[in-house]
Chain A
Amino acid sequence: MIPAMIFAQTPDQIFQAVGTPANPKVTISFNRYYTAEGLGALAQQLADAHPDLITLQSIGKSYEGRDIWCLTVTDQSTGPDLEKPGFYIDGNIHSNEIQGGEFGIYTAWYLAESFGQNTFITDLLKEKVFYIVPTINPDARNAYMRDPNTANTPRSGMIPVDDDRDGLYDEDGYEDLNGDGEVTQMRRKTPYGNYIIDPMHPNRMIRVEGDQRGTHEIIGSEGIDNDGDGRVNEDRVGGYYDPNRNWGWNWQPEYIQRGSHHYPFSIPENRAVMEFALAHPNIAGAQSYHNTGGMLLRGPGAKEDLSTYSRRDIQVYDQLGKLGEQLIPGYRYLTIYKDLYSVFGGELDWFHGGRGVFTFTNELYTSYMMFNSNDRSSEQTNLFEDRLLFNDQFLPWEEFDHPTYGKIEIGGNRKNYRRNNPGFLLESDAHRNMAFTIYHAYQTPKLVVEQVVKKDVGGGYMEVTATIGNQRIIPTHSDHDLKYKISPPDFITLQGGEVVAGMQLLNKDTGEAIEQEFQPARLSISNISGLGTVDVRWLVKVDENSSLQILVESAKGGKVTHEIK
């Protein structure tokens, strides 16, 4: 209890910085990272502090049996989450790409703490629901932080894989040979080397050019040949599979798409997300946070999937992505298959291809953020390391006697450098990325009964004509969703009278229509487009006591009821 008291401020000691909740119920430091259990504890605190806004559930277990926590954030007083357009956020699918976890927590925190304070956020939580899974790779998140790893490992989860196909599993991984708590680089002095020590910045090794010989060679990351096969670190813990090549849209086997594992969703963490997504057909937008490089990525992941992105769907992505570039300076809106690499089986591909959901992957953090500049020269990097990080990222070279390589030196940059935001750049990046996802979520369908006209046509029949509109840019069904009928159609129902005929009007002025014979009260409408409307008409037998209402049910557009006066 006492440490908490030391940090607490009283409200009268605070002056609000604009755009940030000033006196939150839960105080969180957004200049450091949290383990899987750390994120879970923060999620629990948020749920406890905001019981009317946040529910916490485990959507499944990881390979090592950890809970995968999901925060459902919405104003529960305006209806159940499944009846509102949903926005799904996860992070950390690649275990070394950790900051999505903190960005997810920041988003839940910001939404909940702003509710009732900020009108825009308050309205947003009345209309939408956010499903936030800070980490979908809790096992290897912890392994990345705690075990001998580089900035790039593990990328997978913790399922053992026999990478070298010798019948043994994960038998040759990295070692922290000099016991400094980090896996860095091994270098060796040699007259035949191709590296020298940078005279201007002795932390750094530089490659010699042209006709020169260097003084050192770089051997690789710290480790030994554990299994005596002549290779070092070739079958590492958490062996190579890639959770982001394992999703069930155009999944391809290992020899075509490295890392895809056995079959779609053979990785338990992905399976948990898939089952959650199938149980939440209201998800209309999604974000999967990665690092690094400052990118707002859309699909297709594979060039073979080019046809899954129609011109109209791309228009929606463009509208979102181009605004994102403005919201997050240094980030670029790109298409994976042509701007990055062409890969199969990504999470984003499944959300778009398998669920018809408009989905982005943000590659968090970019060296642009060092000096708000695209100058990434070594001079700039040196300046950043020396004068802003004070070389906290670097472990000095130390001599070591290696069983295979003899006298070597071990040293170099720590794993938390380069890919993970430095502490002082974490919160602002979290906020800007959250703002992008909020805009994306805001643009999921908002369905409104715009206009109803009643006309007595005699014989006890009333003609009811209604216009149903979508006030946002995302349609209830993407073109891809329509092509495969992934989501059920939207249903527009007239309740409260005996409906004898129902139709969708193709032209409200001329009355041209398609009649629906089966269940005419409940009209089946394939799509309500972005910023578009549909017109429907019923012939209904009514008496004076009839009270009519219109019910709109859309998997991704939510449920709306409208009393007819």
Chain B
Amino acid sequence: MFKILLRLGGILLACMFTMSAWGQRQYRDGRALERSIQALEQQYGDFFKASQLTQTSGGLPIWQLTLGKGDTDSRPALVIVGGVAGPHLLGQELAMGVAENLLAGSAADSVKQFLDDITVYVFPQMSPEAAAQYFSEIKFERQGNGREVDNDRDGYTNEDVHDDLDSNGILTQMRIAAPDGKWVMHPVDSRIMRKATPEDAMDSRYHVFPEGLDNDRDGLFNEDGVGGIHFNKNWTFNHPTFSDGAGDFGISEIETRALADFLFERFNVFAVLTFGPSENLVAPYVYRSAHDRQRVISGILSSDADVNKMISGLYGDFVETPKGVASSSQDGGFMEWAYFHYGRFSFGTPGWYVPEWQMPKDSAEAATFKRNTDKNADVNLLRWAESQEVERAFVPWDTVVHPDFPGETVEVGGLAPFLAWNPPYAQVRSLKDQHTQFAFALGQKRAKVAISQFRQEQVGDQLWRIKAKVVNIGKMPTASAIGDQFNWVKRLRVDIELSQGQVLSTGRPVYLFSAMDSGESQELSWLIRGNGSTTIKVGAPHLGYDSITINLQ
């Protein structure tokens, strides 16, 4: 019943967020993104600010959008980040979609109140060079930024870049028949290659390589091409130092550093939502005792896992989630950093998965398909893409003349890039709406502190005892267990401000408290000598504030 009510809530929210007239028909390139941001600025100047956080080494802008009214840096804030992985254009669309929908809904009282209470910082595209590869003349899944990098660390830079051998504008694969090949055709669909087993005949085997030439004759193809450091591999948690795309140390890049600096300056951030490869919303992270047995914490802490589980449930209330998806994380990833090294509650999801293709109900039609018994992901992807009539989902294998394999048959073809990352654009609108509802609900789950059960008592002439409780009336703790351990998350602070002539007999003028769970309280007590107006203020930048003023006479 509860679930049904929540779903109903979702529908109501959906109504709020469908006033938008965003007629987006395709994934946005850098210029289209900029135009969209300018349009928001014109229409919603009261609730919206946009600026360039920085420019990447390739000279492209990183946009920073602020939703909220007035002094936005002084309110509790939710951060939303997209474009963490270059090929994942959907991440950018979801981040922009949440911003656009919230602004479009800002006429409704509840959304207006939301944007009065909290600030939403949105970074729609953190990998602009890599994402641009989707729109360029030769399309391929690129992760690296514009920095010139010697990817294979051999003393030469970009000496083995990609080559579009069949001149079709997209990079796929090549296969070459060879008895020592590690691949064979998939029995269900011969267009798809699968890993060979010892049972497979030698004359059925192929080498499979990325489409390209071995320009430096080292036996590898395209191993040192354009593209430098990956945004989502450059962060300090489990940083895979020196591996391709990671950088020589964590947060080495202009854009990673600019984002880290922006966030460290903003103590008002209470949570980070990332649309990227890492997943803890469809399925939450689960605590294991090994996580904090060593001094380097390797996984989510116990009480934070409880919060993750709650928010994962909330996500399921608004977003249709596929079955069988496990949580995932990535070494050097941003979403992981936001939790482990920034200390905030951090949530992430790609926002969409390739659906499991279903056999047609019609038996005659079904007979044309063999059962995908080994659940091969590529077979599923191709069948699903063809069922959705995705254009150019597959490039048929076709022979080319290849200088590295004289006299051998080299075929170029295979699944098109980007297919598994992004749904057809027609499906994106509903994903945007669902994720807007989730982000809206997430913002409302934040920790909030209030002064409660206030009592004042006259103990003697001009002698007052006052007592109060500070309570976390929100649904999340006032700080993550991990963030509660370091300087970069403020403690909950209680101040008592006295009038002239008043002095404290007992109690301190300032109290600081560690993380408090939802519903948890702390009792406060002071003995004050002297009459006058006295104010108690509680809060922290990421929690907001509550205060009470009393006249002791």
Contacts and interface: CB of A to CB of B under 8 A. Distances in A.
Interface residues of B, number: 42
A83 to B, nearest CB: 16
Interface in A30-76: none
B345 to A, nearest CB: 16
B18 interface: no
Contacts, number: 107
Interface stretch (B21-29, B147-155, B431-439): B147-155
Interface string B243-274: 00000111110000100110010010000000
A165 B241 contact: no
Contacts of B322: none
A390 interface: no
A125 B154 CA distance: 30
Interface in A416-469: none
A488 B153 contact: yes
Interface stretch (A107-115, A129-137, A144-152, A256-264): A256-264
A354 B249 contact: yes
Contact of B512 (A164, A486, A524): A164
A106 interface: no
A484 to B, nearest CB: 4
Interface string A483-498: 0111011010000000
A297 interface: no
Interface residues of A, number: 37
A198 interface: no
Contact of A248 (B218, B249, B267, B509): B249
A185 interface: no
A161 B264 CA distance: 12
Contacts of A287: none
A230 B239 CA distance: 41
A488 B216 contact: no
A492 to B, nearest CB: 12
A248 B250 contact: yes
B540 A167 contact: yes
Contact of A254 (B248, B487, B491, B541): B487
B242 A485 contact: yes
A517 B249 contact: no
B390 interface: no
A517 to B, nearest CB: 5
A230 B512 CA distance: 12
A227 interface: yes
A139 to B, nearest CB: 20
Contact of B486 (A248, A249, A255): A255
Interface in A257-298: 262-266, 278
Contacts of B343: 253, 255
Contacts of A264: 236, 249-252
Q: Is the interface of B mostly helix, strand, loop or mixed?
A: loop
A64 B314 CA distance: 47
Given A167-B490, A249-B241, A249-B249, A488 B155 contact: yes
Contacts of B489: 165
B251 A263 contact: yes
A81 interface: no
A230 B150 CA distance: 56
A354 B297 CA distance: 22
A265 B249 contact: yes
A209 interface: no
A167 B541 contact: yes
Contacts of A486: 153, 242, 248
Given A167-B541, A263-B260, A486-B242, A253 B341 contact: yes
B242 A263 contact: no
A485 B154 contact: yes
Given A166-B512, A248-B252, A489-B154, A253 B491 contact: no
A484 B241 contact: yes
A229 B496 CA distance: 11
B510 A227 contact: yes
Contacts of A518: 216-218
Interface of A: 161-167, 227-230, 248-249, 251-256, 262-266, 278, 304, 350, 354, 484-486, 488-489, 491, 517-518, 524
A-B pairs with the 7 shortest C-beta distances?
A248-B249, A488-B155, A255-B485, A485-B153, A254-B486, A484-B242, A263-B251
Given A253-B486, A488-B150, 17 more contacts: A161-B487, A166-B490, A166-B512, A167-B541, A229-B508, A248-B252, A253-B341, A254-B487, A255-B343, A263-B251, A264-B251, A266-B251, A354-B249, A484-B153, A484-B241, A486-B248, A517-B217
23 contacts: A161-B487, A163-B487, A166-B493, A167-B490, A167-B493, A167-B540, A249-B249, A251-B239, A254-B485, A256-B296, A256-B297, A263-B257, A264-B251, A265-B251, A266-B260, A266-B261, A304-B296, A350-B249, A354-B249, A484-B153, A484-B241, A491-B155, A518-B218
